[in-house]
Amino acid sequence: MFIKKNFSLKKFNTFGINVYARYFVEVKSIEDIQKIFDIYPYISKFFLGNGSNILFIKDYYPGIVIKMGMKGKKVIKENDDEAIVQAYAGENWDEFVNWTIKKGFSGLENLSFIPGTVGAAPIQNIGAYGTEVKDTLIKVQAYEIDNRKIREFTRKECQLTYRYSCFKHPYYRNKFLILSVFFILRKKYKQLNTSYVEIQKELENINVKTPTINDLIQAIFNIRQKKLPNPKKIGNAGSFFTNPIIGVLDFKKLKYQYPDITGYSISNQKIKLSANSLIENIGWKGKKIGNVGIYEKKPIILVNYGKASGMEIYSFSEKIMKNIKKKFGILLSREVNVIP
């Protein structure tokens, strides 16, 4: 374990912001973690995965950035129908998903190609194409900072909902370092989730009527290639905002006034609004201010066109939020974790 001083995080956040950390370390074991807490009991700590969902707004982080590097994945238990697998937090998420598929397990395929680590997946209950981590997660093992003990959270305790978990709650935020995650996956009855309209369209596009798991993954790959910017080419952190959830009556009123706004029903009473359509409706599609802009193909994604600072991106997001609040009375929330 090597502690680095005054370390540039440019390569450790997909926005490509050149923020410096006072200290930086990659931890690969519980012993490493304990040592860091012994050496630096009091300075602030930030837990880092692959930096694909964060925005540092200052140029300097005055504490220690602890990159989770614990690796390993294994099948804990299996029978003819199901398998329980454990993956350590520093594993690359997509490589882990691929590993489960190669083993003949299903349940995570719709979450293929999401950047990041296994440890960050429960933090915002990652989701894509009609599937969320909560559908297969059974428990999370975490290191509790205050008492330096390992604690387990059941799926229920994790409180996984749309882009949320208890780890984002102010009371729990930064208090637990996730060490590993357990999933229950299907072996038999591999019912694929192709319900998402975009997936159905893409399967039609590639002429597949009865998709195999590999066809589904190919369709997801194609959609993501077409719609999402590659952080290696242009700095971004995926969706910057979450889609707001409003009541059915409010949606009807909004739709009457602004017919272009879209949303879909998530229960009898609630509608998930498309933040993309709200941003388009304020006329910000393709907008650019200085080094920051809105991604043409998906307005919910903010991009760093060059040497943007974290504050520039943050201010840009503030402007979008203000305009949306003014026009529709709706408060957008940031999906990206802002580090003050």
Contact residues toward ligand FAD (CB under 6 A) are: 14, 46-54, 68, 89, 114-117, 119-121, 123-124, 126-128, 177-178, 228, 231, 236-238, 337
Contact 150, 105 (CB under 8 A): no
Give the 3-state secondary structure of residue 152. strand
Q: How far is the CB of 66 from ligand FAD (least distance, A)?
A: 9
Q: Exposed e or buried b for every residue in 128-150, given b needs 16+ CB within 10 A?
A: bbebbbbbbbebbbbbeeeeeee
Q: Beta-carbon neighbour count of residue 74 at 10 Å?
A: 10
Q: How far is the CB of 102 from ligand FAD (least distance, A)?
A: 21
Q: How far is the CB of 52 from ligand FAD (least distance, A)?
A: 3
* Residue 195 among the catalytic residues: no
Q: How far is the CB of 301 from ligand FAD (least distance, A)?
A: 8
Q: What CA–CA distance (Å, rounded) separates 205 from 287?
A: 31
Residues with Cβ within 8 Å of 148's Cβ and at least 6 positions away in sequence, in order, are: 34, 37
* Residue 202 among the catalytic residues: no
Beta strands 270-273; 263-265: pairing state: antiparallel
Contact 203, 112 (CB under 8 A): no
List 334's β-bridge partners, or say none. Answer: 241
Given the residues 165, 180, 239, 309, select the one marked as catalytic.
239
* Residue 44 among the catalytic residues: no
Q: How far is the CB of 29 from ligand FAD (least distance, A)?
A: 13
Q: How far is the CB of 13 from ligand FAD (least distance, A)?
A: 7
Q: What CA–CA distance (Å, rounded) separates 284 from 271?
A: 23
Give the torsion through C-alpha atoms of 216, 130, 159, 126, to 10 deg.
60
Laid out side by side, the sheet with 263-265 consists of 245-247, 270-273, 263-265
Q: How far is the CB of 273 from ligand FAD (least distance, A)?
A: 17
Task: Return the closest-CA partner of residue 17 out of 228, 168, 237.
Answer: 237
Given the residues 26, 163, 274, 280, select the one marked as catalytic.
163
Task: Name which of 236 and 304 has its Cβ closer to ligand FAD.
Answer: 236
Residue 290 DSSP label: T
Give the torsion through C-alpha atoms of 36, 158, 152, 100, to 10 deg.
-90
Both tokens of 56, joined, read: 């540092």
Task: Return the closest-CA partner of residue 177 out of 149, 135, 155, 138.
Answer: 149
Q: Could you identify the residue written with the tokens 């390993």?
A: 72
List residues with catalytic annotation: 163, 239, 335
